[in-house]
Structure 1
Amino acid sequence: MAATRVCGIDELGTNEAQRFVVDGVPIAVVKDAEGQVFAIGDTCTHGDISLSEGFVEGETLECWAHGSQFSLRTGKPLTLPAYEPVPVYEVVLEDGGVLIDPAVTLTV
């Protein structure tokens, strides 16, 4: 599969998560204060909860329901109750757009 444009970079709020579904895969996308864009799996591994409804602080995304925090860089949970990581997707910034291919995951 090829990368899909999900939005324009200017459409992303700073330190806010937005949910996109790309080829059936729910993905949380976050732009930090420096303009770096992250894409991780949008489903908390502790429960079937959308992470994009959670809270962004620094390089973490916190699940609003149970408080698990996930690294935006690695997808690893930083706090319990989650103990399984979420996938991290490659983000391509091109012509002002944010492109993601859910078939390309990063390992850190």
Structure 2
Amino acid sequence: MPASTSEPSLVCAETELRTGHPIRKVIDGQAILIVRDDTGVIRAVDDTCTHAEISLADGFIEGRTVECWAHGARFDLATGQALTLPADRPLTTRRIEVHDGMIYVA
């Protein structure tokens, strides 16, 4: 799915985001997962597994993937692509901006 085009919203300070430890934020009524992957890149995707209504922020981050803790579906954090069943639909990716040490998500 394409990245969102809405105005960016402040999420947190860059120093609050640790590698492999996702943060869940609700922005304009939508739950978003924000994480720094193993390569140091900050990623943001919708936080709800497309297979079931489950928060991915409670799942497992490995490399640039997130795995749903409930049923094991894995998603690519860069593209949103569903990598394993039971999920067969991608996550929506979100645009990240960093200004003056603050992280913003659209």
Using the size of structure 1 for normalisation, the TM-score is 0.89
Does residue 78 of structure 1 match 2:83? Answer: yes
What residue is the counterpart of 2:8 in the other structure?
3
Alignment of 1:50-65 (within 5 A): 50-65=55-70
- Identity, in percent, stands at 45
Give 4+ residue runs of structure 1 displaced > 3 Å after superposition: none
Amino acid at match of 2:69: W
User: Secondary structure of the equivalent of 1:89?
Assistant: coil
- Counterparts of 1:79 and 1:34, CA distance in 2: 22
1:18 is displaced (CA, Å) by 1.2
Structure of greater relative contact order (alpha carbons < 8 Å, 6+ residues apart): 2
1:17 is displaced (CA, Å) by 1.3
Using the size of structure 2 for normalisation, the TM-score is 0.91
Aligned-pair Cα RMSD in Å? 0.9
CA contact (8 A) 2:38 2:62 kept: no
- Structure number having the greater strand percentage: 1
Alignment of 1:1-108 (within 5 A): 1-101=6-106
